[in-house]
Amino acid sequence: MKIIKKNNKKLSYFRNLNSKERAKFLIEANDNIKRFFLNKINSEEFKDIQKYLHSEEITDLLSKVNEKKREKFLLKLPIEKREKVSFFLKFPSGSIGKFINTNFIKVDINDDFEVLVKKIKNFESIRNKEPVILVYEGKFFLGELLIHKLLVENDIKASIKKLPEICYDIEFEDAIKLVKKKSSKNFVVVDENNRVLGIIESKDFLKYFDKELTKNFYQFGGVRSKEHSFDNFLTKFKNRFPWLTINLFTAYLAAYVVSYFDDTISKMVILAAYMPIVAGMGGNAATQTLAIVIRGLTLDEFENGLGKVLLNELLSGFLNGFIIGLITGIIALVFNKSYLLGLIVFLAMIINLLVAAFFGTIVPLVLDSLDIDPAKSSSIFITTATDVFGFLAFLGLAKFFIG
C-alpha cells in the first residue's frame, strides 16, 4: 500500500509539471524512472511532451516501452518525426544508429544570407539549441557551414568544411577507430545510398566512453552495470552470488598453497602477518595494469605491437616491486628485528608485482582474442594468479632460507 501511495505521489508531481518540464525531466532521468513514467502516461500526454524532444531523444524513450505502447506513442508524432523515429528504432543497440543526432538544418549553397538567418532562427526557436548547418547543392551534400568563417569570407562556398562520413550500420566500437583517425567536432552519418541521416558530435563519443568505463568499473567488482543503489535485496543477491561463488573456489586454491608451507609458518609465525600484504599489493598492482590494458583494447591501441606494452608493464612492475619491497623490508627489519624477514618480503614483493604486471597484461588480451569480455572476466583470473604466486613466492623463499 505504501509503495502504491508513493508511486501515485510521484505521478502527481510529474503531471503538475508543464510539458516542457516533463520532457526535460524524462531526458535527464535514469532508465528505471523513464520506464515508470512512460508506462503511466497516456498517448495524449506524450503528444504534448514530444514537441520539446528531438527525434533521437524520442527514440531513446520509446525503446524503454513495450511494442503496443510504442505504436500508440508513434501515432501521436508528426509524420516527419515519426518516420525518423521509426527508422532509428530499427537499429540494434550496439550500432551507431542509437547515437545519431538530428540537431542540424539544411541550407542550399545558393541561399542568400537572409534566408539562412531565417532558417537558423526558426530552428533555434523550436530546439533552443545552436544547430549544425549542412550545406547542399540540390540533392548533393557538400559539408558543414562554418558561421564564423562566413562572417569573414561573406561567401557560403568558401565557408564550407568537409565532414567525415560514417555509415549508419557500423558498430560503435568500429566508429571510434575511425574517429581517432580524423579530428572533427562533428561526423555525418550516411546510409547505403550516401544520403545524410544525421550527425554525431564528438562529445557523444566521450559520453559513451564514460558509460563504458562505469560498466567496466562495475564488472571489475563482479556487479552488473544495470544494478542500482535502490534495487531490492533479491536482485542484488542474484547479480552478485555467482561471482562470489567463483571467488570462493579460487580462494581455496590460494589456501591450498598456504597449507603446503605449514611447517615453514610454524618456524616463523610472523610470516602470517606479512602474507596478506604481499598478496594485497599484487592484487592492487594487477588491477592498475588491467584497467590500462582494457582501455587500450577499447581504443584499439595494440596495433603497433604487444611486446612493447608487456615489456613496459614488466619494467614498471619490477621498479614498483623493488621500491615497495624495500620499504616493506625496512619496516620488517625495524619493527620485527629480522634481516631475514626483510629480505624475504623484499624479494617476494618484486616477484609478485612482476606476476601482477604479466597476468594483468596477458589475461585480458587472451580473453579478448577468445571473444570473452575481458572487463567482466579478467579480474578473477588475475586475483587468483597474484594470490597463488604471491603466497608461493613469499612462503617458498621463506622455506628456502629457513629450511
| Separation CA 369–CA 7 (nearest Å) | 47
The DSSP 8-state label assigned to residue 29 in this structure reads S
Of the CA atoms within 13 Å of residue 318, those in its CB half-sphere come to 6
* Residue 292: pLDDT over 70: yes
Residues 6+ apart with CB under 8 A from 313: 289, 292, 357, 358, 360, 361
Place of cell 609458518: 265
pLDDT above 90 as % of the chain: 14
pLDDT at 248: 78
Mean pLDDT for the stretch of residues 175-183: 73
Confidence of residue 357 (pLDDT cuts 50, 70, 90): very high
Question: Which of 8-12, 13-17, 24-28, 353-357: highest mean pLDDT?
Answer: 353-357
- CA 39-45-51 angle, to 5 degrees, is 115
pLDDT at 119: 81
Query: pLDDT for 220-249, tens place per residue?
Result: 555 554 555 556 677 777 766 776 777 778
**Poorest-pLDDT segment among 192-201, 209-218, 323-332:** 209-218
User: Please, what sign has the CA dihedral across residues 235, 92, 293, 363?
Assistant: positive
Query: pLDDT for 358-379, tens place per residue?
Result: 998 988 888 877 777 676 667 7
Mean pLDDT for the stretch of residues 7-18: 81
Residues 6+ apart with CB under 8 A from 277: 328, 345
The residue length of the chain stands at: 403
Place of cell 583494447: 297
For the chain, what are the domain ranges? 2-90, 99-201, 221-402
Q: Which set of grid coordinates corresponds to residue 121?
A: 532562427
* Residue 255: pLDDT over 90: no
* Residue 97: pLDDT over 80: no
| Separation CA 222–CA 295 (nearest Å) | 18
The DSSP 8-state label assigned to residue 164 in this structure reads P
What is the secondary structure of 122-162 as a DSSP string? Answer: HHHHHH-SPPEEEEEETTEEEEEE-HHHHHHH--TGGGEEP
**CATH number of the domain located at residue range(s) 99-201 in this protein:** 3.10.580.10
Q: Which set of grid coordinates corresponds to residue 8?
A: 501515485
Q: Which amino acid is at 204?
A: D
* Residue 90: pLDDT over 80: no
pLDDT at 158: 84
- Average pLDDT value over all residues in the chain: 80
Q: Which set of grid coordinates corresponds to residue 287?
A: 588491477
Which one is the CATH code of 2-90: 3.40.50.1000, 3.40.1160.10, 1.25.60.10, 2.60.120.380?
1.25.60.10
| Domain 221-402: homologous superfamily in CATH | SLC41 divalent cation transporters, integral membrane domain (1.10.357.20)
Mean pLDDT for the stretch of residues 276-301: 81
pLDDT at 84: 79
Confidence of residue 297 (pLDDT cuts 50, 70, 90): confident
**Poorest-pLDDT segment among 49-53, 216-220, 315-319, 396-400:** 216-220
Count Cβ neighbours within 10 Å for each residue of 24-38 and write b for 16 or more, e otherwise. ebbeebeeeebeebb
Residues 6+ apart with CB under 8 A from 56: 88, 99, 100, 101, 102, 198
Q: Which set of grid coordinates corresponds to residue 241?
A: 552470488
Question: Which of 186-195, 197-206, 235-244: highest mean pLDDT?
Answer: 186-195
- CA 264-265-267 angle, to 5 degrees, is 65
